[in-house]
Structure 1
Amino acid sequence: MTQIKNRVPAVIVLAQFIVASFLVTAGLAATATEFSSSATIRDWTNSIPRAFLKDRHLRLYSGAESEQVLFEGEWEKVRVEAQEFSYNGATLKRDTSPPALPDLKSSWQEIAVIDVAQGNRLLRAFAPNIVPAERGHGIYVQHAMGDVVLFRDATGKLQLVPFDGKPADVTIDRRYSRHELASAAALFLEKELKASHPDKTAFVLLWQPGERLRITFLDLKERESLVLFPPAEDIPRGRPKLGGNLKTLASFAIVDNGWGFLKNPVSSATRTIHQGVQWTGTFFDPSLRDRASTIPPLTTNAPGMDLVAWEQWLDQRFTARERGSIRLLLNGEGFYPEFERRVAEATNKVDIHVCIFDRDDVAVRMADLFKARSTNIAVRVVFDRLNTRGAGGAPPATPMPDGFVPPSSITSYLRDGGEVRVRPLLNPGFSCDHSKVFIIDERYAYIGGMNFGREYRYEWHDLMAEVEGPVVASMQRQFNKKWAQAGVWGDCGLAAETMFRAKPHYESTNSADWIDLRRLYTKTFDRQIRRAELEAIDRARNHVFLENSYLYSNEMILALVRARLRGVDVRVIMPGENDFASGHSSNLVTSNFLRRHGVRVYFYPGMSHVKALLVDGWVCFGSANFDALSLRLNREGNLATSDAEFAARFRREVFETDFAKARELKEGIAVDWSDHLSDALLNPF
């Protein structure tokens, strides 16, 4: 067993991570400041405040009666219930002239306050409860600042190391996301607090695992866990600067439309016409009206669709089948370390085609790696200009490292101090390229839903896949054409690349794991992904599983309902949280509609960015969401296959795993006119 020396005690470090997980599950950690290191913290640490609760309105009275300070916060009930505890956040407001303490006859209920000493003791007691007892086994823990592995060494002692420093002989038995860690902590606290305070159901807990005080609210009756943020007065350091809207708009008008049309006259004109045609088409999508009063039973033993005939149907209409192997890389810890290792070991070139190249610490780390490698191999990067600019102005949900200052421009940062060649993709007519394909040495390709940014590494549930085999040569060919078109010669460069450049050739003969794969695209006037996915769902006879955070297309929703009314087992996974508030409202309306028609709807804890479909053994995944933007307007890239072994693995590792983690919707969620308005407005998108 590998020996780990000179480490901070694991229970202390994990306690800090648990607090961080509570803080960021609410998604507000990047927008709240800490209590300053003033008398306020010392007062709260040395004297226990009194807490009063009424209808999700909390008051905390601190200090002596003559110098009393009130901190109060309000919040709304989380609309999607969690498996155990819901999570939310509220920013406290300070009142130095507070109203008098509520009397016993008022509707305010005084609740228990757990002081710092008790709070820290509870945190320290929690760690041994979630780590396997077996030596050499441990858990993966995702937290606000990164990720770690907590395990028992050869002596049975708890050890904690960064994820990339995990000893090779340690077996990870379970993965804890931030939400799952916070949920496990809440369940542990519930048991402990019921034993010590049997007559109480609501608590304010004070923690101080480091120098700063943390405050959490826990309601055992309402099943709510809440992080209480101190009053925010300004934007914390290390956060990307907001603003620049006029500059962005002017740049879009001059560069994307002016320069874009000059160098790409043919493609810009056709894309603009395509945008107009497709936008118009979305307004003729059918509305979500109830289709049936009774739901037929499931035909669980029915054979699936004829996959041989299905693949032949695809052969006649779309790209040909090609050989290759696929290795699934789930979540940030599954993809990023593996991809970084491949980049570090590259001997010839690295080609990156990404939608968003952010400016946060994770994106900058990737940029630094590309710049370091560019001194001895070729590194080419293309990214969507509009999406990258937009993402760079938005703060991440989790805090970046202390002292980190994002570069003002990721384009300039990539070009400075190295030999990385960068070509932003222009956006005439607000068209976007949403693809994510990374190729190393023309041997390894990566495809899926991840961009370069903190949310993909540490915050969201997502999926990428490593691909090898002859199909990589076709993906390389597609990149070469994209690179040529993004250059100064534009459409002329694309024509030259298409007509005169030799096609890449995949040299490896290791074909033991190769299966039939098919590349599917959304391109100008070529909506392959939409046509294939809708047709597959309409052919389904046994099961349809779908996971996505942006299921806005009424066409797709109604196809799912039609399948269920034929007796097909239809299940949909949506995120319990969404990076887009209106999108969450739309998902609630959609979930109710699907549930009324017998579709099983699940809400994944936190944000799931997975874009996946499984229909009777046919798998389709990649960059395309299930909305009009991906199915009609953006440029997208997916992979599809009917290989039985891979489909079974995909079902097991993606869908069955996520069904187990998610909460199934058993009854309708209350929605109002604003939710229906959001849903109606998003249908064209």
Structure 2
Amino acid sequence: MNPVPFRSVKSAGPVRVQIDWSTVRKYATRAAVVAAAAPVAAAAAVMGLERVRRQQYPLDSPFPTAPPASTEVDDTTATVYTYGADLYAAMLDAIRSARHQVFLETYIWKDDEVGREFKQALADAADRGVEVFVVYDGFANLVVPRTFYDLPRGVHVLRFPAFRPGLLMLDVRRSGRDHRKILVVDDEISFVGGYNIGELYATKWRDTHVRLVGPSTWELRNAFIDIWNRWRTPDLPMLQDVGSPLWLPRLRAARNAPSELVFPIRGIYLDSIDRACSHVYITQAYFIPDEDIQAALLAAAARGVDVRVLVPERSNHVVADWLARGHYATLLRGGVRIFLYQGAMIHAKTATIDGRWTTVGTANIDRLSLTGNYEINLEVVDDGLAGQLEAAFRMDESNSRELTLEEWQRRHPLTKIAERVMSPLRPLL
């Protein structure tokens, strides 16, 4: 029989309570283990169920697409891509036309037909004397053989560390990834957005990228040089920035650098949502807003703004889906409309507000992206680009269904329990 942690001790005076601290510690430890294990066990269970479900119902349904569309933002031409095959053709054409320099930074770079085509284009550019610099994330590509990244002499390759010290302490700021996707060619053409490099993304995922042609390419060039010089190893050359005579406040790159405690992307979202007077259209792959962003969306809806959030009904990260659903009741009760993308993965990270303000980039609205990863988002104040992103949003809406508060309240009680059990995992995502 286990001893009780508290027992009375007889004495001539008042009753004294003697505490068996070893027993208290034992029970406290057991409780902590259970509390920590419960959300992990629940996450493992839903991942197992989703694996079975995905075999029966894969995320491979066709979805609406639009051809690339361009608009002028002062002296820069901005082109929106909503289909991977179109984007890859433009990126490869830029690399194959490079005369002086190529900067490529990507989160995932798969060893498949598309990945090898990019690899060959970079090698060919180096062969004709172009300076080529590549950054890829080590952790995101652990399943890819390291030999795939053995590029020919003349291609400088930086592997962002696969494991960082903060991982052991679950410190996202010191363990986050290089989640950016950037291509800069000859200081004239640049690309940024949500697309990684691989066959899957070419035709099976819906995502958004932007190409810049003109002086605003400096925004992405400068971003690449900063991360290269911050993380390069001694055997890699230092890159020199050339500066920019152009000051274009209507088109800027916001760059999260967690190791340097720089987090502007969250700030641009909060500022722009607070300004909204007409409508807010947000598209996100993984939507787990913090208290301030959720409060800003609810405040906008309360003052009559049409707030819409479009997310995948099922994403490639089922745990993120469940954590996102923990916010649905509050958002729906507060007047925020939620649209669930059907049959395929939507991976875009975009927003447009009042037909004027737009952001396109790599950051999700979750803690990992906004405070942990290296991320980059363009912030553009331009009616033309906002109109294009609104057209893309309406296109995606046509492949979505709206989730109502009544439907959400009718979900199974076990679903509600699972959401609560897994909620402690939110700070990790």
TM-score normalized with structure 1 length: 0.47
**Residue in structure 2 matching 1:386, options 139, 146, 163:** 139
Gaps of 5+ in 1: 1-77, 80-86, 92-143, 145-176, 183-320, 394-407, 508-513
Structure with more contact order per residue of length (Cα contacts < 8 Å, sep ≥ 6):
2
- Contact 1:323–1:517 (CA under 8 A) maintained in structure 2: no
Q: Is 1:522 the counterpart of 2:256 in the alignment?
A: yes
SS at match of 1:480: helix
AA at the equivalent of 1:625: N
Q: Deviations over 1:627-665 (max 9, x none)?
A: 01111121111111111122122211x211111221111
SS at match of 2:118: helix
In the other structure, the counterpart of 1:646 is 385
- Contact 2:182–2:191 (CA under 8 A) maintained in structure 1: yes
State the distance in 1 between where 2:385 and 2:110 align: 32
In the other structure, the counterpart of 2:124 is 372
Q: Deviations over 1:606-626 (max 9, x none)?
A: 211000111222111201110
- Contact 2:177–2:373 (CA under 8 A) maintained in structure 1: yes
**Residue in structure 2 matching 1:486, options 225, 231, 237:** 231
- Contact 1:352–1:438 (CA under 8 A) maintained in structure 2: yes
Gaps of 5+ in 2: 1-48, 65-72, 167-174
AA at the equivalent of 1:520: A
- Contact 2:63–2:399 (CA under 8 A) maintained in structure 1: no
State the distance in 2 between where 1:506 and 1:332 align: 33
In the other structure, the counterpart of 1:630 is 369
Q: Deviations over 1:447-475 (max 9, x none)?
A: 00111123321321101110022221242
Q: Is 1:467 the counterpart of 2:212 in the alignment?
A: yes
SS at match of 1:383: strand
Calculate percent identity across the aligned residue pairs: 24
When the two chains are superposed, the root-mean-square deviation of aligned CA atoms in Å is 3.0
**Residue in structure 1 matching 2:400, options 651, 662, 672:** 662
Q: Deviations over 1:203-223 (max 9, x none)?
A: xxxxxxxxxxxxxxxxxxxxx
Q: Is 1:451 the counterpart of 2:186 in the alignment?
A: no
* 1:302-451 alignment runs, 5 A limit: 324-376=76-128, 377-389=130-142, 392=143, 408-409=145-146, 412-417=147-152, 419-426=154-161, 428=164, 429=166, 430-451=175-196
State the distance in 1 between where 2:241 and 2:101 align: 17
SS at match of 2:217: helix
In the other structure, the counterpart of 1:601 is 338
AA at the equivalent of 1:663: R
AA at the equivalent of 1:331: Y
The verdict on how the C-alpha distance between 1:682 and 1:612 changes in structure 2, with shifts beyond 3 A counting, is same
Report the alpha carbon displacement of residue 516 of structure 1 after superposing the two structures with TM: 2.9
Q: Is 1:553 the counterpart of 2:257 in the alignment?
A: no
- Contact 2:178–2:374 (CA under 8 A) maintained in structure 1: yes
- Contact 1:474–1:504 (CA under 8 A) maintained in structure 2: no
In the other structure, the counterpart of 1:180 is 62
In the other structure, the counterpart of 1:150 is none
Q: Deviations over 1:9-29 (max 9, x none)?
A: xxxxxxxxxxxxxxxxxxxxx
SS at match of 1:446: strand
State the distance in 2 between where 1:624 and 1:639 align: 10
SS at match of 1:388: coil
The verdict on how the C-alpha distance between 1:541 and 1:680 changes in structure 2, with shifts beyond 3 A counting, is farther
Larger Rg: 1
In the other structure, the counterpart of 1:542 is 278
Q: Deviations over 1:317-369 (max 9, x none)?
A: xxxx9953210011212211111122222222221011222333332232222
In the other structure, the counterpart of 2:170 is none
SS at match of 2:345: coil
TM-score normalized with structure 2 length: 0.73
State the distance in 2 between where 1:546 and 1:517 align: 19
AA at the equivalent of 2:365: F
AA at the equivalent of 1:662: S
In the other structure, the counterpart of 1:675 is 419
AA at the equivalent of 1:469: G
